[in-house]
Amino acid sequence: MENTDKPMTKTAKNPSGHEIVFNEENHTYQVNGHGLISATTFIDQFFPEFDSQEVSKTYAEKNGLNQSDVLAQWKQKGDDASDLGHIVHLYAEKLFKEEDLPITDDPKVQKYFNVVNKTVVKLLKRFDFIDAEMIVFSEELGVAGTIDLLMKDRANDDIVIFDWKTNEEIKKENPWQNAFLPIQHLQNCKWNRHQLQLNLYWRILFEENYLPFNTNYRMALIHLSEDGVGWHKVGNMSREVAGMLGFDRDIPF
């Protein structure tokens, strides 16, 4: 991979005129000298943490492997997935904004670029482009995040929040583990975290008047692979998000 054109910081303003600074390296958001929690970090605190030490130990013993080797393999896989996600997101952003595209000599990445090309053509047949990699934030809520893609449906003027995903799999259930209060009815799986993230973006857009008050919103994940694309409609979790925003996580339970 090359020519990722990755800046260290980005700035953006909300409708109130306040400016935020996003540091991409450490994924932090700063407004007027104080930090806002990222949407992903905010959501993660309502779910059990993945115990890599315990799980890797069990996996290594079961498969006759060295635990340190297992952890190293997992880290490498995570780093590779992060690099892939970054360059694919960047490519999609530049494509929509008609800017210089990142280039690659990696055949796998090029396959993803080709899928993005076809997907963007399909999207533009129905939707008008609004913004990509759009930083949104609310000082009142104390939360900030970056929307992958925001578009308007020409058929009914609905605003659609899209999120690109390049993971191998989006797990939609985990019957063995649930989230914490106040969303303990939700299973601890990537799908629920993704849905909550997009619903939190919607809440920020609404709270800060990014768009007209009477605008209807829809949300979806665009799951990319080397071979094609999967579309996943995201449900309404506004009640769950409202409960999370009003919940004091410092209270022991």
Contact 20, 30 (CB under 8 A): yes
DSSP letters along 197-250, please?
A: HHHHHHHHHHHTTSS-TT--EEEEEEEE-SS-EEEEEPP--HHHHHHHHT--TT
Q: What pLDDT score was predicted for residue 2?
A: 44
Q: What pLDDT score was predicted for residue 249?
A: 53
Q: Treating both helix axes as pointing N-terminal to C-terminal, what angle do 190-207 and 238-245 enclose, rounded to 10 degrees? A: 80
Low-confidence residues of the chain: pLDDT under 50: 1-5, 251-253
Of all helices (H) and strands (E), which one includes residue 21?
Answer: strand 19-23
Q: What pLDDT score was predicted for residue 75?
A: 84
Bridge partners, residue 150, by sequence: 131, 161
106 three-state secondary structure: coil
pTM attached to this predicted model: 0.89
Q: What pLDDT score was predicted for residue 66?
A: 85
Tell me which amino acid residue 65 is: L
Q: What pLDDT score was predicted for residue 187?
A: 97
